[in-house]
Amino acid sequence: MTTKDSRAAGLAGLAALIADETRAACLLALLDGRAWTAGELARHAGVAASTLSEHLGKLVAGGLLAEERQGRHRYVRLAGAHVAQLVEDLAARVPAAAVRQPPRTLREASAGSAMARGRTCYDHLAGRLGIAVTDALTLRGLLRQDTGFALTDAGVEWFGAAGIALDLSSRRPLARACLDWTERRPHLAGAAGAALCGHALEAGWCVRIGSERAVRVTPAGERALSSLLGVASSALR
């Protein structure tokens, strides 16, 4: 008699949760790291609020989303960085032909271009911006990629000198590779990636644009990244 592996049932259930276009659209939207209302997600996914409520219930029950209520509003967010990593890794493995379908409108084309240029991936930088920063850290010996992502001693010192606080006591990996779904190369994630992204937004190096995850590097950000990492302005535009 064959004994069923309970992990197989769990994996199938997790895959089924994601294997719905509406739920997938919600998970991708929530990669911006913020909490969204059910109404905002319904408009984003193009479905009725009642339909979306059912989908959100499944994602919350499955442990992919966390929810909280404030008054009559229901907010949802990704359950944690581990969910963001799962979604981004899966998105990066979508065939390139499917990702690069011609945009249907000028607005869609502009949004796609902005997302590819620079965006947040949950709590760290992604797109060409994320790759440019990751490459610059590696070139300067601040980040190693040969045996998996790891900050060097010089890298830890660089963060401190740049005024970017690192939580070295956190159980979260200090540096982790996250496969970029537009560039098809890894960018910096983990506690260091989150600290760098948070500082970039707080210091005004980057600003969010539109309602998506896209970010734009400001003139101050161009100067800072050029001074601190030697990143050329052309790589940020």
pLDDT (0 to 100) of residue 116: 86
Provide the pLDDT for residue 112.
64
Best CATH choice for the domain 7-79 from the list 3.30.930.10, 1.10.260.40, 1.10.10.10, 3.40.50.460: 1.10.10.10
Please give the pLDDT value at position 138. 97
Give the DSSP letter string of 71-134.
Answer: TTEEEEEES-HHHHHHHHHHHHTS-HHHHTPPPSSHHHHHHHHHHHHSEEETTEEEHHHHHHHH
Structural domain boundaries of the chain?
A: 7-79, 105-236
Predicted confidence at residue 156, as pLDDT, reads: 95
pLDDT tens for 108-150 read 545 568 888 899 988 999 999 999 999 999 999 999 998 889 9
Measure the CA–CA gap between 84 and 71, rounded to whole angstroms. 27
For tokens 């979604």, name the residue.
Answer: 87
Quick: pLDDT tens for 157-173: 999 999 999 988 878 89
pLDDT at 136: 96
Contacts of residue 59, Cβ cutoff 8 Å, sequence gap at least 6:
17, 23, 26, 27, 65, 76
Q: Name the stretches of the chain with pLDDT < 50.
A: 1, 106, 109
Query: How much is the pLDDT for 96?
Result: 62
Residue 93's identity, in one-letter code, is R
Q: What is the per-residue pLDDT for 104?
A: 59
